[in-house]
């Protein structure tokens, strides 16, 4: 009887662990988790009209066309930490220029940065 209890507890524990791991890897949505950050913190400078550094952040296609000074800012094949987009919002200081948003602080919240990281990690999809 006691043995049985132990096994059930182990099964329960394993399931809980699997559920929590799965949650931290949940895919993020570009539309719902990433673009809203750009809308509130970036498009004042990276809008449609003469966007700063040639980088327009008003939609997925303009972000991915890579018409910025330094080529594509997101490379889905590379790890997020090598994507200029991630480096510019997360690193202090970034590899070149200023940390974004340039009018910060405040900079992005950990949650916003985490969404960007996970979105790139999951293939930078138009989702
Ligand atoms: C107040 C204006 C301003 C705001 C707001 C701003 N940026 Fe910028 N951004 C710039 C300027 C100017 C540059 C070019 C100088 C530099 O790289 O530091 C730049 C450069 C960049 C670059 C590098 C582009 C390249 O390849 O040269 C990225 C990526 C970037 N910004 C992302 C963002 C993101 C993401 C946000 C919002 C979280 C943001 N920026 C908010 C003005 C701004």
Which pLDDT value is given to residue 80?
85
- Count of structural domains within the chain: 1
- Identify the CA nearest to 77 among candidates 113, 117, 29, 121: 121
- Residue 9 domain flag: no
- Residue 32 domain flag: yes
* Mutation to probe ligand 1, out of 88, 107, 109, 112 (largest number of atoms < 8 A from CB): 88
Tokens of 33: 């988790």
- Residue 104 domain flag: yes
- Residue 3 domain flag: no
Q: Domain range holding 33?
A: 28-121
- Residue 95 domain flag: yes
CA 54 to ligand 1 center in whole angstroms: 9
Mean pLDDT, contiguous 10-residue spans, the chain (127 residues): 62 52 69 98 96 96 85 83 94 96 98 97 94
How many alpha carbons lie under 13 Å from residue 4 in its C-beta half-sphere? Answer: 1
- Residue 7 domain flag: no
Place of tokens 């602080």: 105
CA 56 to ligand 1 center in whole angstroms: 10
- Residue 41 domain flag: yes
């Amino acid at each position: 009887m006691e043995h049985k209890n132990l096994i059930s507890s182990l099964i329960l524990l394993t399931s809980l662990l699997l559920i929590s791991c799965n949650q931290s890897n949940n895919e993020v949505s570009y539309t719902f988790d990433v673009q809203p950050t750009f809308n509130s913190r970036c498009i004042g400078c990276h809008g449609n009209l003469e966007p700063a550094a040639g980088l327009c952040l008003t939609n997925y296609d303009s972000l991915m066309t890579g018409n910025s000074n330094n080529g594509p800012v997101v490379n889905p094949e590379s790890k997020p930490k090598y994507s200029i987009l991630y480096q510019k919002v997360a690193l202090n200081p970034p590899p070149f220029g200023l940390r974004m948003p340039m009018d910060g602080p405040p900079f992005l919240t950990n949650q916003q940065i985490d969404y960007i990281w996970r979105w790139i990690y999951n293939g930078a999809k138009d989702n």
